[in-house]
Amino acid sequence: MLDVQRKAPRFNCEFEILSNNIKGIGLNLSLKGFGFLTTTEIIAADEIPFVITIVINGISSYTLEGIGNILFSNKKDDNGFYGGFEFLELTGQSKENLLTILSDTINNQGELPQKNSKVSMNKSNKNLDYFSSSAYSHTIDIHGLFHQPYNPDNKDFGKKGLLCSTPDFTQSEMLNFASNDFLGLSLNKEVISAGIQCAEKFGGGNRTSIANSGILSVINDAEVAIAEYCNMEAALLTVSGHVSASGTVSALVRPGDVLIINESCSAGVSEGVILSRAKCFYYENFNLNSFKRMIKRVEGKYANTVIAINTMDNNSGVIGDLTQFLDITENTNYITIIEESYTFGLYTMHAPHSIHIATGSLNETFGINCGFTASSKSMIEYIRNFSKIFFYSNGISSYDAATIIKSIELLKKNNDLKGRLQYNIDLFVKGLEKAGIIPLYNASPIISVMINDELAIREISNKLYENGLYHIVLMYPHVPMGGSLLRFSINATHSENDICKAVSIVEKCFAGKLT
């Protein structure tokens, strides 16, 4: 019986698993699969035929059948085990039946009071061990499926709908708390001068791919500098972190291989997975138990295994403690990739552990439109030749190469910028907390504040713009429904007066909105 009063609807389910007839209670039904609670422990398995009958309100009955994967069975207590089932293929009328079930749930549940949605980003309810794109709870997930589809005739779409409209700026100048140029190196006079001098010598534009036109000596020097900074043998520079991540991943795996990645991985890693056509399993952000389950799940089943670990959730700003994760990977023969776009140059994320590959973006630390991949000489040579993305992408400009070299030189000589950045982070966070505004995470340059009510976050965001504070607002579909964020980026170049003024504006715009 589907209980529409619950945020995680339950339904009776009976299905055949490994020739054993198992009865259980279904949980968290979505388009991607469902969870279940059984009294018997179930072994993970792939491509299992299933038939499920779901009854709503004792009247409507629907059948779902097809092929799916048993993801895991985790003991809940003495009375049962939690498991996850992923739909691979729905046959017959099953897909239409599933949409009808989910639609009926909404109709019985009524409009969702979003301001009462309880969602925590740093203690996420979303668990990709269950199924790959479920939302925080059933009601939020289903509400998102049917929430105001795009209508080109709706002139208010983007104002009252899902997306935030572009603010109407009236100020000639604003405080910029949206830049991820954390150390402010893109504004450094020495860095700019080095880039200009190099552009005057070699030209300023990007050239065609290195495979077609060769490589400038200054770009080669920049790759050597990045490799040394990463404590690697060699490096490869590209026009963006997205290109670096997708090019690296797509070169390393292919059908028959498997990737294990965390749910906050970058779009570049996700695209690399798609291009490779390899199997992929997600683990919950910085959740060691979830990571261990995925390692156990793939053990001995695939030709090659690659693990990609993201160092920071760029929405919430949460930085993971990777020590225990890397302790596990060092005891395997799996290739380990550290993706450190938002932490490169700021924190040492993997020492003293050895990793195979580091990849990421230089936009955040250096403020340079480049991405990098660093590894052994043989690995870089392999990626350079076997990745179509690298092979056919334009090379970086001489200006960017020179600014990379100068930025690394400055960072090696002086840590004052990092110290100033941390001081500004602490000052901003303490100011928010004093005003009763608690960020999701307080130790990184990205400071995010969650506001579950979309109308409220729009109102606050517009007030922040009107008062001259430039920031980022993240709403559905950029984040899951019910997890809207105001995101502020702290830079080393912010003065103490800038920080205090920003806090004052935030406090003013939040007045009367705190609960």
Q: Model confidence over 402-433: pLDDT tens digits? A: 999 999 999 888 778 888 999 999 999 999 99
How far apart are the C-alpha atoms of 134 and 132, rounded to whole Å? 6
Q: How confident is the model at residue 159, as a pLDDT?
A: 37
Name the class of domain 186-413. alpha beta
**Which residues face 259 on adjacent strands?**
280, 306
Instruction: Name the residue among 448, 484, 404 with its Cα closest to residue 312.
Output: 448
What is the per-residue pLDDT across 328-374, written as a single tens digit (0 to 9) for each? 888 888 999 988 878 887 765 455 567 899 999 988 878 888 999 99
**Which residue ranges make up each domain of the chain?**
10-145, 175-180+416-510, 186-413
* pLDDT confidence of residue 445: 92
What element of type H or E holds 222?
Answer: helix 217-229
Q: Can you spell out the DSSP letters for 85-154?
A: EEEEEE-TTHHHHHHHHHHHHHHHH-S--GGG----STT----TTT-TT--SSHHHHHHHHTS----TT-
**Residue 146 has what pLDDT?**
24
| Farthest CA pair distance, the chain | 78
Q: Crossing angle of helices 217-229/398-413, nearest 10°? A: 30
- In the prediction, which pLDDT does 172 show? 59
**pLDDT for residue 27:** 67
For residue 133, what pLDDT is reported?
30
Q: What is the mean pLDDT of each run of 10 residues along the chain (515 residues)?
A: 38 47 66 76 74 62 79 69 82 80 53 32 30 26 27 42 43 82 89 92 74 81 92 92 92 91 84 88 86 88 89 82 84 87 69 77 85 93 88 86 93 83 94 92 89 87 92 82 87 92 94 64
CATH label, 10-145, candidates 3.40.50.10860, 3.30.1230.10, 2.40.10.220, 3.50.50.60: 2.40.10.220
CA distance linking residue 63 with residue 92, whole number of Å: 10
Strand order in 45-56's β-sheet?
10-17, 20-27, 33-38, 80-90, 60-77, 45-56
- Per-residue pLDDT, 70: 79
CATH 1.20.120.50 fits 175-180+416-510, yes or no: no
- The residues, ordered by sequence, that sit 6+ positions from 251 with a Cβ below 8 Å of its Cβ are 382, 383, 386, 387, 389, 390
Q: Which tokens hold the place of 307?
A: 């693990």
- In the block, tokens 């506001």 appear at 451
